[in-house]
Structure formats: C-alpha cells, structure tokens
Amino acid sequence: MKAMPPAIIPWEMMITITFLLLLFLLHSSHAAHVHAARRGSAISERLARSPDSDQIQHWKLAFSDDLAPSGRSRRLPKAVSCRWALNELCLRHVSCRELWTLFRRNCAVDAQNHCRMGNKNDCWQSFEGISWTGLGTCTCAGNNSDCHWIRLQTNYNKCIYELNNDAGWHAQLATAAQFSSRVEEHVEKEEEEEEEDEVQRESVGVDTWTEERHHGHQWRAEEWENVEGERGEGNETERGTVKVDKE
C-alpha cells in the first residue's frame, strides 16, 4: 500500500492560522500584564503609606528607646492587668500615649463591632507598638469596668482579629519585612565601606587613597585628568581675574 502524500495546506490558510496564533499570544500577554498590574496595585494600596505612617514609626522608635535598657527584653508578669498595662506603663510615656491615640484611630470599631480601619498597615503597626506593654494579651481578674473596656479594645479588637485571620495580609507583611531587612543591610554595608574609606584615607594619605579608590571603582584615568584639568583652568582664570583687578 502506497503511503499517502503529506497534505498541503493552502498558503491562505497558513496566513490565517499564523494571524490567529499571534492574536492569541498577544491577548495572553496583555492579560498577564493586566493581572500583574492589578495585583501590584492591590499590594501597594494595602501597604500604602498614609499621613499616620511616619508618626507611627517615629513613636515606635521613641517608645523602644523609652523602654531601654530593660525594654522589651524585660519579662512582664504572666498575668498583666489591662488597666495596669495602659495606665501604669503605656500612658506614663509620651511615645506610648501617642501610639495609643493612633491605634484607637486606625483600628476603630463601631458600636456594632464592625472594624472601620482605613489602613491595615497603620492599624497593625500601632497595635504592635502598644503590645510591648502587655496590651493585647492582658487580663482582668476582677469586675473593674475600666479594665474590661481596655481588654475589649485590645485583646478582642475586631480589626486585629481580622488581620490575624488574614493569611494574605501576613504574607504581604512578611514580604515587606524581608525587603526592609535587605534595605537596612545595604545601608549598613555602605556605612561600613565609608568608615573603611575614612580609615584608609587617614592611614595611607589622601593622594594614595584617591588613586586606589578610582581603580577600585573602575574610574578611567582620563576622567580624573579632565577633572584636574578643569580645576587647573579654574585656578588660572581666578589668578587672571585677580591680576586684572590689581592692575
């Protein structure tokens, strides 16, 4: 039995198939870009800085310094009273008083126990700051109404409850923390290099250090000569100007 000759596809059909394939690929690429843009926009929106963001970070750093040297490393009692944590520890520091105000504003809960937070990151960061006092895990041994009110606003805060049960939010928070850590490492590395450069300048002299520094950073000799030339021309111009003035 003779083999069947391969089917020949008309060139018009080949053009049509090619066009449809390109159209499909372009559509898929566009859809992928749109999805990535929306996802990036959503993450940026959730982690976007608000007017309160800088204040929260400022007061957290200040409160951390206020608690030093014992600070957060100090072991609090196993059963911290909510009333004591707020009134005897937090509100005695200006920094924690400010954090408490920011927490109440950013983790607001209405009368129907609905969370009304406007920015997840601000709510979480402000809560983290006040939690160093024991707020969030505190208890109320008696029937003191103030203590139970504080406990309701912190331990059972609806906004914090929602964030604790939001796996996506914690993933974003972890990613942001990793990025922040890498940035801090980069800044520390640059500061260490600057300190090493300062030591080298003092030990080997400015001229020797400058030459080694330019080689290490792949500076071209002609660029350095151009800089020196421009500096020399500037000096000549200044000398000429002075000479004319004297005449």
Find the domain containing 194 and state its range: 167-199
For the segment 18-35, the average pLDDT, to the nearest whole number, is 61
Has residue 233 been placed in a domain? no
Has residue 127 been placed in a domain? yes
101 and 149 inside one domain = yes
For the segment 60-74, the average pLDDT, to the nearest whole number, is 74
d(CA 175, CA 39): 14
Has residue 1 been placed in a domain? no
For the segment 108-126, the average pLDDT, to the nearest whole number, is 92
- Across the chain, mean pLDDT equals 72
84 and 121 inside one domain = yes
Q: Structural domain tally of the chain?
A: 2
How does 10-45 read in b/e, with b if 16+ C-beta sit within 10 Å? Answer: eeeeeeeeeeeeeeeeeeeeeeeeeeeeeeeeeeee
Q: Tell me the three-class secondary structure of the chain, residue by residue.
A: CCCCCCCCCCHHHHHHHHHHHHHHHHHHHHHHHHHHHHHHHHHHHHCCCCCCHHHHHHHHHHHHHHHCCCHHHCCCCCCCEHHHHHHHHHCCCHHHHHHHHHHHHHCCECCCCCECCCCHHHHHHHHHHHHCCCCCCCECCCCCHHHHHHHHHHCCCHHHHHHHCCHHHHHHHHHHHHHHHHHHHHHHHHHHHHHHHHHHHHHHCHHHHHHHHHHHCCCCHHHHHHHHHHHHHHHHHHHHHHHHHHC
190 and 129 inside one domain = no
Has residue 24 been placed in a domain? no
119 and 140 inside one domain = yes
Q: Which residue has the higher pLDDT, 49 or 116?
A: 116
- pLDDT tier for residue 140 given thresholds of 50, 70 and 90: very high
Question: Which tens digit of pLDDT belongs to each residue from 97-112?
Answer: 999 999 999 999 998 9
Has residue 152 been placed in a domain? yes
117 and 105 inside one domain = yes
- Domain harbouring 101, CATH code: 1.10.220
